[in-house]
């Protein structure tokens, strides 16, 4: 038996030993890594919404700068899953604008989400959403395994920062499923010379090793599987000489998905539901706690200049974002003034903050003088109309922005606006300094214009570059509907009690004339539960409550109730009737209502009227006394509130009562509007 001896040269033997040792060392290192896994916190961008992430609970790292208003948040404490995860963390106070780690936990959807301003972030209101989440400090709980790679529900995974780990959502695999090929096919006439078929294994849906590249950027409406398999093809192409050079490695810096020239990816059937990657953005109905109809009068005069005009537009856009515009909340229109005012868009043109901001961006400067008074007059006459979207029940607010000072007078135009129920706010930017005041046409113009002179309605801004600091103070003021005093006009803020003489001397026909007079007066007022309310008492020797303040809340119902009042007939006890009205009507008046008593009589009272009249005056009831025919003038003056010449009226015949309607209404409004504005 022969023996064959193989001999090797020393260098070859040494090489084999080195390879053997290196392999053993590599296996040991691999074993160590498997035994000691390290949790890597995934990084996300500010625009990542919670609803895009499948994981029910996860820890992530947020970057700096997520306080920016372009990252939308819906809710307070509990947030809609349509919210930016990181912006919600800033709003909740878990993070500041410098970023950091947070723990996110999904919870059930809510029937409503309340917007609020917190930590520099304005969250929006939302009626309902299918899923919510809460945010806490990024300290992992013991015994809980958090994913080091987030699972996204859509191919539109947000662009990741360097080192971000994500993976495409995969449906669970069916046991026994085998890999199927993905074929890159030649397109005749377009394939570069030397290109050939490249067949790659289509991975099983249960493959554990599948992760996307660091910068997934899907193009168009591609399916999840297309992006995933194309990425595998791109990654594999580095070892395949037969793939077209148009293919780019997905893990290369700045690489984006690009279909290679002359190569067609054949994937077979793609489910229809996977072709759509657009999520339905919830449309806010607006913040119901800030239901106001708002007009901004912006300064488009030549003196503003292009740069400051852009700052003014950015201020409007920030206001639109902070207000949460919607049909159930605030609505906003814009009027630009120069020589003459021009409506850019009215209250009903844009019904959400996003559309409103886009419209603001398109506004171009008009130039000319700074005729503020003319602009206020135009807004009073035209802007707050039903045709322009005025809702009637919402307070009317006009915010006037002025660069320096107006070039016309504003006092008279503003008075008419206030008397129309418009709450005027003034923002004066870079107002006149001492040496410039000689050029101001109307000194102290802002205080002459605003609804009240207590500082609530005026904002003075020292520089255009600090205008942004006024966004939140202004939003809080225009939304404080309880303090919008100019919304309360002479026609919508009273409880009016009619005290009607039904004595025998009046007669049936004249009594119907008196009721027509009561109806004519009532028609002049805005009637509702929250506006003016009407009640009525009829008296003879006795008294009867015909209807109270809370019984009817619409004008048609009030007018029908007046028609149904039946003539009583009897004596004339006016003093007792005043006491009865104080007890049965005005004792139930709302604290914030002006109390008006309108008494109609045709004769002298059988009882004393002095003490009851004084009681009415002491209780703050403004009394108008209207006498007909045989009524005693001295009694009318005692009953009426001082000065009697403004509150006592006399007509010689019942048929002339209608002539008193305009004078009574005028006196009611003059008295209301003469109240101090402080």
User: pLDDT per residue over 151-178, tens digit each?
Assistant: 988 554 444 443 444 444 343 433 444 3
Residue 10 vs residue 609, higher pLDDT: 609
For residues 126-138, average pLDDT = 84
Distances from the Cα of 225 to the Cαs of 133, 165, 177, 236, 452, in angstroms?
28, 18, 16, 16, 64
| Nearest residue to 353 (alpha-carbon basis) of 300, 406, 294 | 294
Coil, strand or helix at 428: strand
Which pLDDT value is given to residue 420?
A: 84
User: Which three-class secondary structure state does DSSP give residue 442?
Assistant: coil
pLDDT at 625: 98
Residue spans of the domains in the chain: they are 50-137, 293-483, 494-674
pLDDT digits (tens, 9 = 90+) for 618-647: 999 999 999 999 999 999 999 999 999 999
Q: What is the pLDDT of residue 182?
A: 36
Distance linking the first and last C-alpha atoms of the chain: 124
Predicted local confidence at residue 145, as pLDDT: 86
Using CA atoms, how far apart are residues 665 and 245, in angstroms rounded to an integer? 87
pLDDT digits (tens, 9 = 90+) for 424-450: 999 999 998 888 888 888 999 999 999
- When pLDDT is averaged across residues 276-300 and rounded to a whole number, the result is 79
Task: Give me the percent of the chain exceeding a pLDDT of 90.
Answer: 58
Q: How confident is the model at residue 261 (pLDDT cuts 50, 70, 90)?
A: very low
Nearest to 119 by CA among 149, 182, 76: 76
Q: Is the pLDDT of residue 489 over 70?
A: yes
User: Model confidence at 483, in pLDDT bands (50, 70, 90)?
Assistant: confident
Q: Does the pLDDT value for residue 134 go beyond 70?
A: yes
Pick from 262-266, 521-525, 529-533 the range whose average pLDDT is largest.
Answer: 521-525
Residue 280 pLDDT grade (very low, low, confident, very high; cuts 50, 70, 90): low
The answer to whether 293-483 and 494-674 have equal CATH topology is yes
**Of the segments 15-29, 481-495, 648-662, which one has the largest average pLDDT value?**
648-662
Highest mean pLDDT among 22-31, 199-208, 504-513: 504-513
Locus of tokens 């990654």: 235
How many angstroms separate the CA atoms of 10 and 462, rounded?
Answer: 88
Assign 185 a pLDDT band (cuts: 50, 70, 90): very low
Q: Which of 55, 138, 145 is nearest to 99 (CA)?
A: 138
Span 512-525, pLDDT tens digits: 999 999 999 999 99
Average pLDDT of span 491-520? 96
For 293-483, which CATH superfamily applies?
A: von Willebrand factor, type A domain (3.40.50.410)
Helix boundaries (H) for 214-340: 224-236, 305-323
Q: Is the peptide bond preceding residue 253 cis, with omega within 30 degrees of 0?
A: no
Residues 544-556: tens digit of each pLDDT = 999 999 999 999 9
Residue 60 near residue 41 (C-beta atoms within 8 A): yes
* Structure-block tokens of residue 527: 């009637």
Distance (Å, whole) CA 279 – CA 285: 18
Sheet containing 293-299: which strands, arranged edge to edge?
341-345, 331-337, 293-299, 396-403, 422-429, 458-461
- Residue that has been written with the tokens 């107002």 in this structure: 431
The answer to whether the peptide bond before residue 643 is cis (omega within 30 degrees of 0) is yes
Is the confidence at residue 401, as pLDDT, over 80?
yes
Q: Looking at residue 310, what is its pLDDT?
A: 96
Contact between 138 and 102 (Cβ < 8 Å): yes
Q: What is the pLDDT of residue 437?
A: 85
pLDDT of 3 over the 90 cut: no
Q: What share of the chain is helix, strand, coil (3-state, %, to 5)?
A: 35, 20, 45
Name the band, by pLDDT with cuts 50, 70 and 90, for residue 365: very high
Q: Where are the beta strands (DSSP E) in 43-98?
A: 57-62, 75-76, 78-80
Q: Which residues contact 487 (CB under 8 A, 6 or more apart)?
A: 395, 396, 421, 423, 481
Looking at residue 27, its pLDDT comes to 55
Specify the DSSP class assigned to residue 68.
Answer: -
pLDDT per residue as tens digits for the range 592-603: 789 999 999 999
Summarised one tens digit per residue, pLDDT across range 56-71 is: 999 999 999 999 989 9
Do 49 and 81 contact (CB within 8 A), yes or no?
yes
Asked if 458 contacts 446 with a C-beta cutoff of 8 angstroms, the reply is yes
Contact 411, 450 (CB under 8 A): no
Q: Among 140-154, 274-288, 535-549, 631-645, where is mean pLDDT lowest?
A: 274-288
Over residues 119-145, mean pLDDT: 84
Instruction: Domain 494-674: give its CATH code.
Output: 3.40.50.410
CATH H-level superfamily of 50-137: LCCL-like domain (2.170.130.20)
Model pLDDT for residues 369-379, shown as the tens digit of each residue = 899 999 999 99
Looking at residues 20-40, what average pLDDT do you find? 55
Place of tokens 């003016």: 532
Instruction: Identify the band that residue 246 occupies on the pLDDT scale cut at 50, 70 and 90.
Output: very low
Give the list of residues 6+ apart from residue 334 with CB closer than 8 angstroms, or none: 295, 296, 298, 316, 343, 344, 345, 359, 360, 363
Q: What is the pLDDT of residue 241?
A: 38
* pLDDT score of 15: 59
pLDDT given at position 29? 53
> What pLDDT is attached to residue 593?
87
pLDDT tens column, 444-467? 999 999 988 889 999 999 999 999
* pTM tops 0.85: no
């Amino acid at each position: 038996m022969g023996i064959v001896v193989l001999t090797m040269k020393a260098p070859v033997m040494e090489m084999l030993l080195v390879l053997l040792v290196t392999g053993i060392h590599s296996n040991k290192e691999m074993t160590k890594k498997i035994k000691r896994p390290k949790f890597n916190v995934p990084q996300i961008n500010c625009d990542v919404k919670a609803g895009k992430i499948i994981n029910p609970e996860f820890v992530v790292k947020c970057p700096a700068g997520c306080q920016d208003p372009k990252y939308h948040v819906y809710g307070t404490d509990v947030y809609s899953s349509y919210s930016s995860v990181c912006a919600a963390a800033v709003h909740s106070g878990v993070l500041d604008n410098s970023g950091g780690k947070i723990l996110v936990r999904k919870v059930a959807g809510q029937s409503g989400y309340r917007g609020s301003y917190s930590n520099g972030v304005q969250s929006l209101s939302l009626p309902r959403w299918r899923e919510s989440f809460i945010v806490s400090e990024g300290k992992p709980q013991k015994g809980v395994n958090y994913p080091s790679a987030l699972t996204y529900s859509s191919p539109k995974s947000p662009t990741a920062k360097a080192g971000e780990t994500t993976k495409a959502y995969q449906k669970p695999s069916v046991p026994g499923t085998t890999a199927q090929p993905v074929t890159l096919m030649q397109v005749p006439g377009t394939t570069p010379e030397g290109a050939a078929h490249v067949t790659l294994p289509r991975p099983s849906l249960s493959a554990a090793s599948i992760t996307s590249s660091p910068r997934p950027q899907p193009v168009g409406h591609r399916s999840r599987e297309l992006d995933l398999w194309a990425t595998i093809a791109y990654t594999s192409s580095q070892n395949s000489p037969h793939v077209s050079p148009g293919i780019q490695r997905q893990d290369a810096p700045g690489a984006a998905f690009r279909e290679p020239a002359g190569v067609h990816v054949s994937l077979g059937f793609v489910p229809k539901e996977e072709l759509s990657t657009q999520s339905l953005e919830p449309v806010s109905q607006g913040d119901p706690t800030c239901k106001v109809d708002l007009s901004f009068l912006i300064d488009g005069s030549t003196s503003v200049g292009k740069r400051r005009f852009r700052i003014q537009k950015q201020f409007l856009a920030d206001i639109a974002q902070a207000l949460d515009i919607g049909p159930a909340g605030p609505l906003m229109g814009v009027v630009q003034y120069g020589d003459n005012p021009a409506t850019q868009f009215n209250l009903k043109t844009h019904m959400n903050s996003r559309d409103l901001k886009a419209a603001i961006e398109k506004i171009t400067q008009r130039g000319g003088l700074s005729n503020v008074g003319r602009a206020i007059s135009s807004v009073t006459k035209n802007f707050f109309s039903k045709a322009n979207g005025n809702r009637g029940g919402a307070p009317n607010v006009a915010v006037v922005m002025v660069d320096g000072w107006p070039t016309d007078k504003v006092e008279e135009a503003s008075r008419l606006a206030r008397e129309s129920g418009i709450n005027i706010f003034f923002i004066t930017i870079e107002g006149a300094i001492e040496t410039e005041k000689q050029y101001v046409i109307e000194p102290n113009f802002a205080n002459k214009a605003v609804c009240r002179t207590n500082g609530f309605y005026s904002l003075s801004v020292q520089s255009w570059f600090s205008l942004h600091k006024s966004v939140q103070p202004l939003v809080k003021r225009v939304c404080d509907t309880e303090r919008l005093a100019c919304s309360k006009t002479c026609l919508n803020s009273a409880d009016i009690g009619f005290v009607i003489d039904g004595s025998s001397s009046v007669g049936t026909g004249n009594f119907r004339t008196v009721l027509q007079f009561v109806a004519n007066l009532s028609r002049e007022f805005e009637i509702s539960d929250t506006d003016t309310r009407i009640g009525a008492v009829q008296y003879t020797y006795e008294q009867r409550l015909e209807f109270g303040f809370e019984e009817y809340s619409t004008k048609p119902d009030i007018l029908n109730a007046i028609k149904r009042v039946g003539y009583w007939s009897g004596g004339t006890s006016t003093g007792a009737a005043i006491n009865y009205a104080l007890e049965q009507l005005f004792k139930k008046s709302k604290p914030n209502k002006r109390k008006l008593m309108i008494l109609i009589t045709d004769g002298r009272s059988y009882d004393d009227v002095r003490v009851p009249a004084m009681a009415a005056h002491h209780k703050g009831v403004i009394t108008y006394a209207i006498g007909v025919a045989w009524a005693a003038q001295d009694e009318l003056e005692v009953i009426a509130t001082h000065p009697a010449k403004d509150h006592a009226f006399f007509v010689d015949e019942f048929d002339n009562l209608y002539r008193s309607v305009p004078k009574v209404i005028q006196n009611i409004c003059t008295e209301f509007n003469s109240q101090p504005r402080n």
